[in-house]
Structure 1
């Protein structure tokens, strides 16, 4: 309670009240600060905060935080950014829960189980690129802290970035599996690009815009079925890979390696410049 202005205790109260006001302002987010900045005393600030963010508001906030945590996925985020986003939500959640325990031992067990659950949430939210390291952690008999798990996953990401020249592979695990199941022939075909029409699936030698006479040879037959060569029939339906396809694949891999080396050199140069 504010003492009388002519009281000897007023100076001490005024100093301490301003200290509490400063602490309150620094403890809330910028959007909340605007609600309390013009309040005269720390008590007035506290009353406004209690009315605005009371028990009912706290439950809504906890619900929203829990919803965000369980829905959060890595996506295009790096491991560092994904972990930071999760950790920020967890810290906010811990602040709003603030459980009161009668038995310290029960509190220790609860905290241990809660962090184990958070390890699972972190692993679940990772992209499929980390399936191997995720399986190793889950199958291990050792007990890991969340910091240990994060360190392992982040190290795996750095190793992957080094081998790919600083580029992230955005092709998911399931997409890569589907590409393998389609076979090498389908992959080779998808690598071809016509220098004339800029479309994939064929080369300029077989571009229908330049060679309309080849449309009947490369297209569908009148029965609506793709023509089958005698070589394919005699091999029991297994398509062979031509020398031209092998040359195309080698050329593509050569270009890919060159691009990765160039990207790696640029990344190192940028890092050296930044240092």
Structure 2
């Protein structure tokens, strides 16, 4: 195992023991128009991908530079690849997050989802993963995030999703980064509770195959049965278990999360709820600050 830098060790300690939550600022191509619409930017107000990504980067920059978006309540932030390669206030985004705000930077690395089979959606192939991970290291990224989706309690499907997630995770670890494994369970699934038991048991099996130095994080849907994932949070190979909001409103997601003592938030839509391009900076900062405080309190 290569020697870890002082920065990496400080970030790992922050992830393991820090108070707060991880902000998910990683909407990608498919979900960007929807995120912009919620922010008050309709598709007719930009032309083509470049202008669309310019709008979403402006939104993310406004969030990152807001007075309440600091290490006091925000532990980490998950970035989209374009955001990693872009700058905020003339500084590479990841460097600004860590050096100026004390927030640990992560990178979303998956390329989207395959069509549903066996009740799940696997990750699409990532042929350029090694090059992307090398770039992430250069940009000062601490960890990655990769998402699959579980639609129903299908044992074979869930086993396949978890096996694929851990295969990618080992590649990430070999590159010197910490993977966030995200097998999301659809909150609308008729068999959500059963799927979560299967998922917990499959993850536990895979965790027990990891070697020294192969530490991971987990990003999971807030479970139907509170604290079902405590056994994962207590595993020596797991730095932290974080929760996705999965379409719940901010208030609902926070209420559900607060019942799970060993999970903290990693919310995307719930973080940006009520934010609008048309708001004054004072209005925007007040709305964002309110969301940050709610999510922070639920993560304690």
Which interval holds the TM-score relative to the shorter structure?
under 0.3
If asked which structure has higher relative contact order (CA below 8 Å, sep 6+), I would say 2
Specify the structure having the higher radius of gyration (Cα): 1
Report the structure, 1 or 2, having the larger helix content. Answer: 1
Tell me the TM-score normalized by structure 2.
Answer: 0.18
Higher strand proportion, which one? 2
